[in-house]
Amino acid sequence: MSAKELKEYDDAPEDIKVPDNVLLRVSGLKKYFPIKAGVTQRIVGYVKAVDGVSFDLERGKTYGLVGESGCGKTTIGRTILRLTEPTAGHAYYKGHDLFALKKKELRVLRPQLQMIFQDPYSSLDPRMPIGEIIGEAVKEHNIVPLSEWHDYVLSVMKDCDLKTYQIDRYPHEFSGGQRQRICIARALALNPELIVADEPVSALDVSIQAQVINLMKDLQQKRGLAYLFISHDLSVVEYISDVVGVMYLGSLVEMAPKEQLFKAPLHPYTQALLSAVPVPDPDYHMNRVVLQGDLPSPANPPKGCKFHTRCQHCMEICKEVVPEYKDIGNGHFCACHLFDKQ
């Protein structure tokens, strides 16, 4: 496959009509990273980090994205916000294709599209006080008049449970939970409608995780925020999400409303993930599903169903034919040959 072929987009128009309740529609998103070799650094292949992902995120809702490390979750979030450029596909925000916008046009939308990064230690500038960290983009995008800037930053800090007297302190003076609140405040200061939260609590203690998650839920209710919540912690995803998508090797294998997915998972990979979630009951017997083998390389994914090399229900058709990602019923999508006749 040539670089020119990889850059070709499908024939969908740049702007489309989406339902009023849909804030973000991702369609056929692909992100391939080139593999280079030799003195001339010629391209010898591609790492298919994201390989044809589609989903809708409704206004004021949370879409949880789960899967093993390296399955492409973070790449999806970064590509939607164009922190890295897509290989193919579309991301429609309010009906406008983010991937078709020029830099000046995208800059106008930047305040509405924010991201909370995974590591609260490395994502904050250690040489800036937190007031400047939170308010830097507020000045850049003229969110409020300069005369109101200080009071505005203080009000954002209050909303994120930060003490206002800490405005002149530096990141190293705060705990991990407080730093993540600063990251949330920085994103919130621009009055966004969509926030991509990339494992926002994975680096925090369990008790602090609960505080940060509850803060995010409170802010969502007050401001009508929509979250794309990326995590490998299924218990956190179950608590905060409305819809959950399960990724494996760059592709969505299952998606359903939270209650359906956790009560009746369909895909063997989802069943294996859920079987590993600990239950706080010493008398409960875990029916653990242990996956065999290693995760295949995204640079050379298996033919047919990508999961067939580790699936206990593998059939001959799984080794040759890619399963159709389809609605099994009630908005429960699954890509598995076990449901071909449904």
pLDDT above 90: residue 133: yes
The model's confidence at residue 8, banded by pLDDT at 50, 70 and 90, is: very low
pLDDT category of residue 342 using cuts at 50, 70 and 90? low
How far apart, in whole angstroms, are the C-alpha atoms of residue 96 and residue 92?
A: 5
Q: ∠ CA(32), CA(36), CA(40), 5° rounding?
A: 140
Cα angle 110, 209, 191; round to 5: 20
Instruction: List the one residue out of 242, 238, 260 whose CA is nearest residue 334.
Output: 260
Contact 169, 127 (CB under 8 A): no
Helix (H, G, I), strand (E, B) or coil at 165: helix
Question: What are the structure tokens assigned to 141, written together?
Answer: 């995008």
The answer to whether 201 touches 235, Cβ cutoff 8 Å, is: no
Tell me phi and psi for residue 121, to 5 degrees: -85, -45
pTM of the model: 0.90
Cβ distance 308 to 318 under 8 Å?
yes
Q: Which residues pair with 33 in a beta bridge?
A: 47
Q: How far is CA 126 from CA 83, 174, 179, in A?
A: 22, 11, 11
Binning pLDDT at 50, 70 and 90, where does residue 2 land? Answer: very low
User: In this structure, what token pair is assigned to residue 329?
Assistant: 């019923």
Among residues 251, 299, 250, the alpha carbon closest in space to that of 43 is found at 299
Closest residue by Cα to residue 252 from 93, 97, 66, 87:
66
Give the C-alpha separation, 286 to 270, whole Å: 15
What pLDDT sits at residue 295? 82
Using pLDDT thresholds of 50, 70 and 90, give the confidence band for residue 15: low
List, for residues 32-77, the tens digit of each pLDDT value.
Answer: 999 999 888 899 999 999 999 999 999 999 999 999 888 999 999 9
Closest of 204, 156, 154, 199 to residue 179, by C-alpha? 204
Helix (H) or strand (E) holding 107: helix 103-109
- Per the prediction, the chain carries an average pLDDT of 89
The stretch 87-114 carries a mean pLDDT of 92
State the residue for tokens 């193919």: 88
Classified as helix, coil or strand, 7 is coil
How far apart CA 129 and CA 185 sit, in angstroms, is 13
Mean pLDDT, range 153-180, rounded to an integer: 93
Question: Coil, strand or helix: which one is 266?
Answer: coil
User: Angle at Cα 293 formed by Cα 54 and Cα 28, nearest 5°?
Assistant: 10
Q: What is the pLDDT of residue 329?
A: 87
Contact by Cβ (8 Å): 230, 74? yes
Confidence of residue 6 (pLDDT cuts 50, 70, 90): very low
